[in-house]
Each structure stands twice: as structure tokens, then as C-alpha cells.
Amino acid sequence: MSVLKVEKSLYGPYFLAQTEEGKKVKIPRTAPGEIWKGKHLKEDIFQPLTPLRLNYTIRRVGFCGYYPFCGSCQWQHIKPQHQREFKIQLFEEYIGLKPQRVIISPSEEGYRVKTFLYWREGKLGFKKAWFYDIKQPIMDIVHCPLLHPRLNKVLKLLKKVKFPKSLHAVELFTNPQREEVFFKLLFLRKEFPEGDFIKNLVEELLSLKPKDLELSIGIYRGEYLNWESVQVYGNWESLIEVGDYKFLVSPDAFIQPNHYLWKEFIQLIKPTEVYKKGLELHAGIGFFTLHLSRYVEKLESSDIGKESSRLRELNLKLNRIRNVESYALDAYKHLKRVKEVELLVVDPPRGGLTKPVVGLILKKLPKEIIYISCNLESLKKDLSQLREKYEIVKTALVEQFPNTHHIESVVWLKRT
């Protein structure tokens, strides 16, 4: 057991602390200015056991019954304005500049339209944080305050169902503007149920739903990150309206998770000037494409996902946008075949841009780059190379994920 003085938030689930011997270590679920007795777990990570001094200018009591043990939230015990301060500080630490604009989520609850729940040994929920139990058992969750209320309503219904052992996980998605919920039931390939099992399960689920709720169910078979659709019961698309735009969305394509911020986020993503030729990579369903099309004469837009590219194509038609060419393409392949690009917009997955993509950008040298990122680490890594030829001219932080350490950032770069 050691006595630890907590100094500051780190990017991730931990806070930086100092031992009595002056060694820097990491400890989760604490707050700067606090003193804790902690147990050493592994490497430089400690588990908080007994508080010796708590900092109630920063701290509050976590409002969810599963906190602090649930692995999904990391900062619920921190007051919202201080969560924001931590994020601003971390942005500055990683990017070297303060965010010029911070877009705040109007609520820290009910913001998520999508969730992923594991099914293990009769429990449907999230994994417990590893520093409370190394085996990370599933915590049976009956209500998650971050989820849209409609998802919590169906979560209660799901508790009445006895799923088979072969079920791996359930993904839920709701359109916040309609009484619609989409379930994806993910079954492990090698234990996929036979006979009428699925049909009976779907009937059972449908019999539980309230009359005013549209429920669609998709059955998937596969393994980790590789799931193929076997059958869909009900409608598998939904329409959302965000400001001037209409989007067809589907449970099989990415959607920005915080529905409160959709409108402001779309309006944020525009270049600092109007260009003739633009290229948007990682475009998904066209969430930013429609608005971006107003700021370029001609835009090419792509995503590796077939389903999101199909939807983006439909969304361009639905909104009568004619200056965008849309492709289902890998980012590197698309960038390579484009001769000239003035504006480049990228919104890569958590790992950031691949090395070859960064290399190509530095060859093609677009005048302006808008980089949307959900991971400060990978953004920092990519910027360290891009800064050889670019300078940051504008920055923003979007508070997509209250109560978690996740940070959504946007930087605008111009060729030097």
C-alpha cells in the first residue's frame, strides 16, 4: 500500500500521482489535489483504496449506481466544468494550442444514440473496469444514464429475455427523432443457433415491445469486429433531419454518437475559405459532406464502408446536392488517384491516418486540411509530420462524450 498525491488528469482513464518517494504513477477515479492510499496493480498503475483527502471543489458523487466500477465512464466523479477544463488542458498539452472554440453538450445524460452490450453468463451490460477486477466480468446494466431514454426503455425489456450462450453482444441504436429502436444480435459463428431458435427469439422480443415503438432486429454471425448480416426483421434504415439536411442512417454505418451536438458539429466543419476542388476521406454517411459541398465548387467524397457509401450516395440525392462525386474507397487509394486537391477533409478512426496516407498528403500538399479526430494521441502523431509543411490556423473541441475521457477535436491546417 502506498500514499499517493494526485496531481493532474492524464489522457485516458488515469490521473497522474506522486508516491511519497517522489515516483510518478497513475491512478484512476481520483482528482487533482487529492491524497489516496492505493494498491499497486501492475507497472506504474495503482488502484485507489482509501481517500485521505478529497477535493470537493472538483469532485462530485457519481450519479450512476454502477460508477465507479463500470468501465465505460472515467470522469463521472468530476464536475462537468472541470471535466471540460481537463479536456481543454489536455488539448493544449497534445496540440500545443488552446482550442479556440469549445462546443458544449447541453446535457451530460441521454446523449448516446448507440451502444454495445456484452452478453455473458446471464448478464447483459458493460465490462467492469480492469483495475477493480482483472477478469473484467460483465456488469448487468439495467439503466445507463448516458444513453438516450428510449434505449434505456428497451434495455429493461431485454432483461426479460433469456438469450442463448452463443450470443456475444447486442448493439442498440435509436433515431432520437422517431419511436424507433434497432437491435443487432451478434452470435458467435461456431455456435450459431439452429432450427427455429432465432425465429422464436425474434417473436419473443417483438411480443415484449410497447405498441408505440417500432422495433427492428438484425441477426449477425461472426467473431470479433467481423460480423456478417444473416437476416433482418423490420426496417433497416431511418431518416433524421439535422438543420437544413436530411440523412438516411442505418445501424450498420457510423453515426456521431452525441445527438445533441449534430447540428453544431455539421456547421463547424467548413473551410476557412471557398475552394474549387475538395476531397473528403472517411466521409461515412455524408454527415459533413452535405454542408461541406457549399464551400467547394467540386467535392470528391469517399469511405471504405460499402453501406455508409451507399447511404451517402442516397443522402446526396435526397438533399439535391449535385457537386459531389461519391465513392466507396480506401483513403489511400482515393488520395493517390486524385491529381489536384485544394481542400482535404479527414475524419479517420481512432488510430488516426496511416503512414502512407500522411506521406501522400505531404506529396499532394493541399492548401487546407480539416482534421477531425476522436483521439488526441493519434492526432498528435499525425500532426507531428504534417507540421513539416503546415501550420494550425484554427482549432475546436467538441464535447461529444461527457463523463468519459474521450475528446473530439478539430484542427484546420494551412500550407506554410
Ligand X SMILES: C[S@@+](CC[C@H](N)C(=O)[O-])C[C@H]1O[C@@H](n2cnc3c(N)ncnc32)[C@H](O)[C@@H]1O
Task: Please give the residue ranges that form the binding site for ligand X (CB under 6 A).
Answer: 254, 256, 281-285, 287-288, 303-305, 308, 330-331, 347-349
Nearer to ligand X, 217 or 285 (CB): 285
CA 165/CA 121 separation, integer angstroms:
7
Smaller CB separation from ligand X, 30 or 315: 315
State yes or no: is 374 an active-site residue: yes
Residue carrying the nine cell digits 454527415: 287
Instruction: DSSP for 320-386, please give it.
Output: T--SEEEEE--HHHHHHH-S--SEEEE---TT-S-HHHHHHHHHH--SEEEEEES-HHHHHHHHHHH
**Known active-site residue 313:** no
* Of residues 120 and 263, the one with the C-beta less far from ligand X: 263
Alpha helix positions (H), 3-148: 80-95
Distance CA 350, CA 339 (A): 28
Minimum CB distance to ligand X smaller for 10 or for 358:
358
User: Which listed residue (34, 180, 342, 408) is catalytic?
Assistant: 408
Measured from the CB atom, the residue of 27 and 383 that comes closer to ligand X is 383
Nearest CB to ligand X, comparing residues 14 and 173: 173
Catalytic residue among 374, 377, 388, 399: 374
User: What is the smallest separation between the CB atom of 284 and ligand X, expressed in angstroms?
Assistant: 3
- Cβ neighbors of 415 (< 8 A, separation 6 or more) are 365, 366, 367, 368, 389, 390
Helix (H) or strand (E) holding 174: strand 167-175
Cβ at position 110, least distance to ligand X in Å: 20
Burial of 89 (0-12, 13-18, 19+ CB in 10 A): middle
Minimum CB distance to ligand X, residue 220 (Å): 17
| Smallest separation, CB 285 to ligand X (Å) | 6
CB of 95 to ligand X, least distance (A): 18
Residue whose C-alpha is closest to residue 38's, from 115, 105, 131:
131
Q: How far is the CB of 330 from ligand X (least distance, A)?
A: 4
Cα–Cα dist 292/289, whole Å:
5
Chain residue at closest Cβ approach to ligand X: 284
Packing angle, helices 149-158 and 197-208, rounded to 10: 130
- Find all residues with CB under 8 Å of 195, minimum gap 6, and list them: none
Selection from 76, 98, 89, 96 nearest residue 29 by Cα? 76
Main-chain dihedrals φ then ψ at residue 329, nearest 5 degrees: -150, 150
Tell me the catalytic residues: 374, 408
